[in-house]
Amino acid sequence: MSSLTYHKHPNGATYVYRQDSYWDKVKKYPSSRQVCLGKLGAGGEIIYNKRFRSPEAREALERGEMVTTTESLLIGQSLVLAQVTKDTGLERVLRRSFEAEDVDALLSLAWAVASGSQEMYMASIWMEDHDCPAHKDPPSSQDISRILASISQSQIEDFLRDWTHHRSKGLREQYCYDLTSVSSCNMSNPFVEWGHNRDKEHLAQINIALLTGVTSRIPTYYEIHPGSMSDTKTIASFIARMKKYGMERIRILLDRGFYSAKNINLLLEDRIGFYIPVPTTVGWQRELIDTYRDAVEMPEYVIPSSGEGRQSELLYGMTVLDKIDGRRVWKHLYYDGERRIWHIRSLFESLRRWEEELLSGDTKEKNKWAYERYFTVKTTPKRGLQVTRKQEAINAYKTDRAGYWAMLTSCEKNAITALEAYRERALVESHFDDMKNELSMDRIRTHGSHTMRGRTFVQFLALILTARIRVVMARAWEDRMDVPKEDRLSRLYSLKELMARLGSYRKTRFSDRYGSVVSASTKAQHSIFRAFGITVG
C-alpha cells in the first residue's frame, strides 16, 4: 500500500515523498519506507528530481522495484588524470615493467599525489572516494608501505629505459638536467647525508637528479644520489645511464654548478651536445672578457629583446670558435647592463662574507681564490689579525668584468640561439618546485631506503602527469581567443586550483538497468574538460 506525503522545508519548498507500507518478514511486524520524488510545483504537479526524472524509474517504483544507489564517486580529477595518463603513454610503459595489479596500485598512488593528497599513506582515502584503477580494492596505509618497499631498483631501471625510449621516439629533443636536495631527519637511511642543502635548511638530505625534455616539458629520467654528492660528480653516472639506454647522442642544458674540466672532457669524449654557463672563477672566461669586452658592445652583436619584462633589456652576444683537446667548441660571450648591476651588488655581499670568514678563522677552501684576490691579511703583535680589502682588484672587477658572462657549448654556433635554448632551463626548476610543494616532496619521512625508493618513483610518475597537465592548460590559455566564449578558460589555473575546481564533479550509479547520472558541470569544469578533449554528459 502506498501514499504520498508532503513536507514543507524552511526554504519554502514543499517536498513530495512516496510512502510504502509492507510486512517485514524478518522483524515480523508492519513497516514502511519513503523515498523523495521531488518538489511540489506551483500548480500542484510534482517536479521530479534526477532520480525519478525518467519514466522508467517511476515505472519501476510502481512495480515495487526500488531504484537504489549502488555507488557515488568523484570523477572530475580522475577524468583529467586518466586523459593525461593516456596522452603520455605512461600506463603502457608501466605494464612492461610491472604486474597488472601493481600498475593499478602505482597509477592510483600517482593520481592521488598529483591531485594534492598531502601524505602518501592517506592515498587510500582518496582512492575510496575517486574513480581510479585501484578503487574497487584500495590498498590500506600498511599495504601502501608494502607496495612502495616492494618496488625493486631493477623494475625502476627497466621502466626508465623504456620511458626514455618512448619519450624520445620521433622527437628532436633537447633536455635539461639538474639536481635538487630533499631534506630528511632520518639518518638511518644510507642515502641521507650532509651536503649542500639547496633549501638552506640545517638538515641532512638526499639529492635527486632530473632530466626533462625541453620541447615536450615532460620529465624523462631521474636518479637518486647520496646527499653529500656534488653536482659535478653526477655527470659521469648520468652519461653511463644514457649509454645503457641507447641515448648517448643527446643535447643537454646544464647549470654552471656542473662545470669542471673533467666533466667538459667527458662530455666531449662521449659526443654529448651541451650548453653550460661558465663560473666566474674559470681562468679562460676572464681572458675571454678581457680580450673581447670592447668588441662585444657593438651594434652588430645586439640581441633583440623578447618576452615580457625584457623590453628595456640591452643585451649583447658574440661567438668565438675554439678547441678543447682538439675538439671544436663555441664560447659565447654576453654583456648585460642589468646583470652588471646585479654582479656588483653580489660582489659586495660576497666581500662582506669573505671578510667575516677571514676574521673569524672559519675560512673555506673553495673561497681561497677570493681571499688572495681581494684581501691583504696581516698579523702584528700589537693589532693582531688585520684584513684589508684590495681596492684595485675590486675596481678592476667593476670596470672590466661586471655584467659579462660566457657560455660554453659543443653544439650551437649562434649566440642568440644558444641563449634562447638555455633560458628553457627554468622549466626544470618549475618541476622541482612542483615536486617539493604541489606534490609534497619537501621532506623524506620514510625510514628505509627501499620505501624511499618506491616513494620517489611514485613522485616521479605524479610529476609526469602534472607536467602534462601544465602543458595542456598553458596551451589552452594561449589559444583561448580561438574558442567560443562559453568554452573559454576564465583564468590560467594553478595545479592546486584546477584540482579544487574539479573536486565536486560526481558520478552516481544506480541499480539494475537504470545506469548512472553525472552532476552538472560548472563553467570552470566545462572549460577544463574541453581543454583536455574530454566529453562529459
pLDDT in tens, the chain (537 residues): 677 888 887 777 888 888 777 666 666 677 777 778 888 888 888 888 877 777 777 776 676 655 555 567 899 999 999 999 999 999 999 999 999 889 999 999 999 999 987 677 778 889 988 999 998 888 888 888 899 899 999 999 999 999 998 988 766 788 988 888 777 766 666 677 776 666 566 677 788 888 988 888 899 999 988 777 777 788 888 888 888 888 877 899 998 889 999 999 999 998 899 999 998 788 898 889 889 988 998 889 998 865 544 444 578 999 999 999 889 999 999 998 887 888 788 889 999 999 999 999 889 888 888 999 899 999 888 778 889 999 988 887 776 677 888 999 999 999 999 998 888 776 666 766 666 565 555 555 555 677 888 888 999 999 999 999 999 999 999 998 998 888 889 889 989 999 999 999 988 776 555 567 788 889 999 999 999 999 886
Q: What pLDDT, on a 0 to 100 scale, did the predictor assign at position 337?
A: 80
Residue 228 belongs to a domain = no
CA 514 vs CA 49, 52, 63, 131, 505: distances in Å: 15, 10, 14, 19, 20
| Residue that is written with C-alpha cell 649509454 in the block | 243
Examine residue 288 and state whether it is found in any structural domain, yes or no.
Answer: yes
Largest CA distance in the chain: 112
pLDDT given at position 280: 79
Per-residue model confidence (pLDDT) at position 182: 77
Q: What are phi and psi of 486, to 5 degrees?
A: -70, -20
Supply angle C-alpha 379, 384, 386, rounded to 5. 60
Spell out the residues 6+ positions from residue 395 whose beta carbon is closer than 8 angstroms to its own: none
Q: Are 19 and 33 in contact (CB under 8 A)?
A: yes
Which of 48, 67, 86 is the last residue before a domain boundary? 67
pLDDT number for residue 309: 47
Q: CA 84: distance to chain centroid? A: 14
Q: Which of 30, 52, 67 is the last residue of a domain?
A: 67
Burial of residue 262, with CB atoms counted within 10 A of its CB: 0-12 exposed, 13-18 middle, 19 or more buried: exposed
- The helix/strand/coil state of 309 is coil
Whether 285 is in a domain gets the answer yes
Boundary of a domain, candidates 51, 67, 83: 67
Q: Is residue 61 part of a domain?
A: yes
What pLDDT is attached to residue 229?
78
Kindly state the cell numbers that stand for 165.
625510449
Return the beta strands (E) in 488-527 as ranges: 506-510, 516-518
Q: Are strands 251-253 and 174-184 parallel, antiparallel or unpaired?
A: parallel
The per-residue pLDDT for 460 is 93
Note whether residue 516 is domain-resident: no
Classify residue 15: in a domain, yes or no: yes
Q: Which residues contact 537 (CB under 8 A, 6 or more apart)?
A: 518
Contact 196, 230 (CB under 8 A): yes
CB 191 within 8 A of CB 226: yes
SS (H, E, C) 15-46: EEEEEEEEEECCCCEEEEEEEEEEEECCCCCE
| pLDDT for the residue numbered 311 | 46
**Cell digits for 289?**
672578457
Q: Please check whether residue 306 lies inside any domain of the structure.
A: yes
Is residue 167, in this structure, part of any structural domain at all?
A: no
- What is the sign, positive or negative, of the torsion defined by CA atoms of 301, 303, 304, 310? negative
- The strands making up 204-213's β-sheet, listed across from edge to edge, are 219-226, 204-213, 174-184, 251-253, 273-277, 404-409, 327-336, 315-324, 302-303
Report pTM.
Answer: 0.75
* pLDDT score of 90: 95
The whole-angstrom separation of Cα 125 and Cα 113 is: 12
Domain span holding position 376: 277-411
Q: What's the structural domain count of the chain?
A: 2
Q: Which residues, other chains included, contact 340 with Cβ-Cβ below 8 Å and sequence gap of 6+?
A: 402, 403
Q: Please tell me whether residue 456 adopts helix, strand or coil conformation.
A: helix
